[in-house]
Structure 1
Amino acid sequence: MLTVLESCRISPPPATVGNRILPITFFDNIFLLHFPINQLFFYEFPHSKPHFMQTIVPNLKHSLSITLQHFFPFTSNLIVFPTNHHSRKPEIRHVEGDSVQFTLAECDLDFKDLVGYHPRACDKFYQLVPPLGCAVKGSDFLAIPLFAVQVTIFENYGVSIGITNHHVLCDASTKCDFLKAWTSIARLGTDESLLANRSLPVFKRLVQYPESLDKMFLNQPGVDTLNFEYQPPQLVGPSFKVRATFILIKEKINMIKKWVTIELPALGYVSSFSIVCAYVWSCVAKSRVEIGKMNGQDELERFVCLANFRSRMDPPLPQTYFGNCVGPCVAITKSTLLAGDKGFLIAVESLGNAISKTVKNSDGVSKEAELWFEMLFGLPAKIPSKIGVAGTPKVKIYDVDFGWGKPTKYETVSIDCNGSISVNASRDSPEDIEIGLSLPAKQMDAFIDIFNNGLEKEFS
């Protein structure tokens, strides 16, 4: 179904970066063992393969090279020191000549089916996103690739651009800045606008915190697997899951907000994001009951989302600060309560309180980080069920326009691997919210009925 047409490496222009090292902070160390992030943008492009190869591919390569000049960590490697885990911190290292894997392929899958909102087999998408590539052993270190690109042509129908990155590289805010730069250079043919707008990334490590936080997160469970035999995990089929996309429009979200404020007048935090996440969380719990997966067991469940801390640091960081600067908001409640008649209200209250506590805490990030460690790495053994969130409605993911118009469809393919959902601003209206979900086929059927029936009966 997929034929590789070209596999090459893209570097920044010669002598524009040189040898550089970017230290990483505890915000980055949180994600040392996180599964790579796989994102996929589909575009309508009803042209022939020769036309695409001659007119579009050269511009994509050139604009990527110029962008990497300004965002050099994307073409760098994560360097870890397996024999000195506790005494030598990992770092992002760029050596002159480093490059990004760029794959060009063609695919004969049904483009219209892939860009649909209905349930589709998850493993269809795996071949459309690139693996990070192999980790390479050095004298006393391991070099792990951080970024890769794949462009796939569906002749006379469309094109997809798949990107994969190690989460240590950056969070959604930084990646959005990178994509804005790449698409701007692709459209305009130059980086003059990027330079004029002073929107270049800030690489200086401005986060102030005690060294003990580095040691704590470098001792997270499983860190010993970062040895000389380590290789980045990959998406591998076949999969028993299907993925589907759901839209909650602004009017419906506002209607639910009003209903929540009546039912929970003391709840201090209610946002479109928390409403959407809570509703999906409760529907997932109910779908497990529907297919007999819960078996009446009263287990605890976690819901984890991330808050951008750039503006919450003391002093605040620039919005263009490069890397990870996000902290987890963790809500915990019982699965039987989530699946009950009041499941949505319990979810929205639990999640609202968790977000409010995280974003309003005035004790400083250092004290918060110790709690984050327990929530992320101490509780999993006690709380087996977890839902995470990939994406944020604050990032307009459908603005990723290389010059052929906005994407027809966006997918976060990596949610298949860790029980997450994707939550983004929708294509047609940034005030509507688009939810991506990956579930076993039978559970997805149950979820669809529960999701739609709840909107019709509870909030109409």
Structure 2
Amino acid sequence: MNATSDLTIIEQCRISPPPFTIGHRSMPLTFFDMTWLLFPPVHHTFFYDFPHSKSHFLETVVPNLKHSLSLTLQHFFPFVSNLFVFTVPDHSGLIKKPEIRHVEGDYVALTFAESSADFTDLTGNHPRKCEKFYPLVPHLGKAVKTSDYVSIPLFSVQVTFFPNSGISIGTTNHHSLADATTRFRFLKVWTSMAKFGEDRSDILTRAPPIYDRLIDIPKLDEKKLKETKLESFYQPPSLVGSGGDKVRATFVLARTNIDRLKKMVVTQLPEVEYVSSFTVTCSYIWSCIARSQAKICKDDLEQFIFTVDCRSRLDPPVPAAYSGNCGAPCIVTIKSVVLSGENGFLTAVKLFGEGITKMVNNKDGILKDAEKWHDGFKVPARKIGIAGTPKLDFYAMDFGWGKVKKYETISIDYNSSISITSGRESTQDVEIGLCFPSLQMKAFGKIFNVGLV
């Protein structure tokens, strides 16, 4: 067994679907997927109470997770595939679109480990060193570079046992593989397979994953392919070195707080057409972050970037079971001095509402301005992005040990983004995960709590 700090590797294995259930398959990326080619991997960790011995873990959990993952992968072939990015033009002088490719024998790297870290500390909401979480998420695996292409695994899993305390399930995926909706569907099937101890393929009968590339817009594919610097595509970055002085903490906006914020907006800005739980949550968090910054310059700009799911907004609509990425960026920009001011929250809500309304109510369809979607990224500004959505209940992922005790999006550490999910105690609450330097986190916590009194 290999040991690193508080972590001891118990077993490293390769999980494939049952033989001959997938065969050789390939699926080209769309421009929605290619947007994420050069982004860091996505890391999530699910913590569960598991007050049992190591022998019980090895005898029951380990074989069950291996078997249930294998059964699940036969229905979600991209998760057990490799991403192929071509770097040399073909005979026509064009570079072929990247694709997800599966061949018989491909596998998901599954690691079982044991940790002596404090399970109670890791599953709290209070500030904790970001680096404490890095041993709990797996690497994707090494990229393979040839003269014509680069290939890299798309998904990996690590299961960590905390003696007599709990279990964590750490997942890592390349962002071009899936958005939150696709990842949620995969996990729902896997947890069901594990909990009920049998092939639950019947739960997929009504809405199996859809791998047909229903979104085929060559003009946008070509533009995105030209914009993406594929020559720099190789090994995705690692979390090592991302922590520094940063801590992660969780804040909860209860439904009563959200309703109070919405009432404030409706009362003071009756002209705003679009006010939702999501917009008031993001606006409140954003204004608190601006006020927590140590130094604010008059001409500095702040940008908030979030993704709008396009499945139901395309013409014709794409089914909810469509697998891959299907989101459009919505970018809101404001001066730091305004956002951190007395009316920063209300101004942000107005901008969010206008941005969403303009995008989803475009009379020519949501794809009308798709070629300009990413122009806003070029604006020199302090950028904050959103990972996740409160519409998906990740706390409901039950492998048979009960609901999730704590859910963390570890990959926000790469760029100090924000994670958002529905609350553990109530799906009407919103749980916000943040990663900041310790002094800023302390300032943010005070501002956040005072604003809700």
Query: TM-score normalised to the size of structure 2?
Result: 0.95
1:217 to 2:224 alignment: yes
Matches within 5 A, 1:331-410: 331-376=332-377, 379=378, 382-410=379-407
Report the Cα distance in structure 2 between the residues aligned to 1:443 and 1:428, rounded to whole angstroms.
Answer: 27
One-letter amino acid matched to 2:271: A
Give the match's secondary structure for 1:84.
coil
Matches within 5 A, 1:61-460: 61-84=66-89, 86-138=94-146, 140-192=148-200, 194-195=202-203, 197-209=205-217, 211-220=218-227, 222-226=229-233, 230-237=234-241, 238-288=243-293, 291=294, 293-294=295-296, 296-376=297-377, 379=378, 382-456=379-453
What is the Cα deviation at residue 222 of structure 1?
4.0
Q: Count the aligned residue pairs.
A: 444
Could you tell me which of 14, 23, 26 is aligned with 1:9? 14
One-letter amino acid matched to 1:98: D
State the partner residue of 2:3: none
One-letter amino acid matched to 1:215: E
What is the Cα deviation at residue 394 of structure 1?
0.6
Select between 296-305 and 117-126 the one with higher mean Cα deviation.
296-305
Report the Cα distance in structure 2 between the residues aligned to 1:431 and 1:44, rounded to whole angstroms.
Answer: 23
Report the Cα distance in structure 2 between the residues aligned to 1:185 and 1:308, rounded to whole angstroms.
Answer: 27
Report the Cα distance in structure 1 between the residues aligned to 2:185 and 2:105, rounded to whole angstroms.
Answer: 23
Give the match's secondary structure for 2:368.
helix
* Unaligned stretches of 5+ residues in structure 1: none
One-letter amino acid matched to 1:272: S
What is the Cα deviation at residue 361 of structure 1?
1.8
Report the Cα distance in structure 2 between the residues aligned to 1:123 and 1:442, rounded to whole angstroms.
Answer: 17
1:56 to 2:61 alignment: yes
Give the match's secondary structure for 1:83.
coil
Report the Cα distance in structure 1 between the residues aligned to 2:437 and 2:263, rounded to whole angstroms.
Answer: 33
- Residues 87, 95 of structure 2: 8 Å contact kept: no
- Residues 83, 151 of structure 2: 8 Å contact kept: yes
What is the Cα deviation at residue 437 of structure 1?
0.5
Give the match's secondary structure for 2:285.
helix
Report the Cα distance in structure 2 between the residues aligned to 1:452 and 1:368, rounded to whole angstroms.
Answer: 39
One-letter amino acid matched to 1:53: L
What is the Cα deviation at residue 184 of structure 1?
0.8
What is the Cα deviation at residue 251 of structure 1?
1.1
Report the Cα distance in structure 1 between the residues aligned to 2:28 and 2:363, rounded to whole angstroms.
Answer: 27
Report the Cα distance in structure 1 between the residues aligned to 2:127 and 2:43, rounded to whole angstroms.
Answer: 19
- Residues 362, 368 of structure 2: 8 Å contact kept: no
Give the match's secondary structure for 1:219.
helix
Give the match's secondary structure for 1:311.
helix
Give the match's secondary structure for 1:39.
strand
* Unaligned stretches of 5+ residues in structure 2: 1-5
- Residues 20, 94 of structure 1: 8 Å contact kept: yes
One-letter amino acid matched to 1:168: S
Could you tell me which of 37, 42, 47 is aligned with 1:37? 42
What root-mean-square deviation, in Å, do the aligned CA atoms of Structure 1 and Structure 2 show? 1.4
Query: TM-score normalised to the size of structure 1?
Result: 0.94
193 and 68 in structure 1: CA distance in 2 versus 1, 3 angstrom threshold: closer
One-letter amino acid matched to 2:348: A
Give the match's secondary structure for 2:181.
helix
Report the Cα distance in structure 1 between the residues aligned to 2:253 and 2:72, rounded to whole angstroms.
Answer: 34
Select between 91-100 and 342-351 the one with higher mean Cα deviation.
342-351
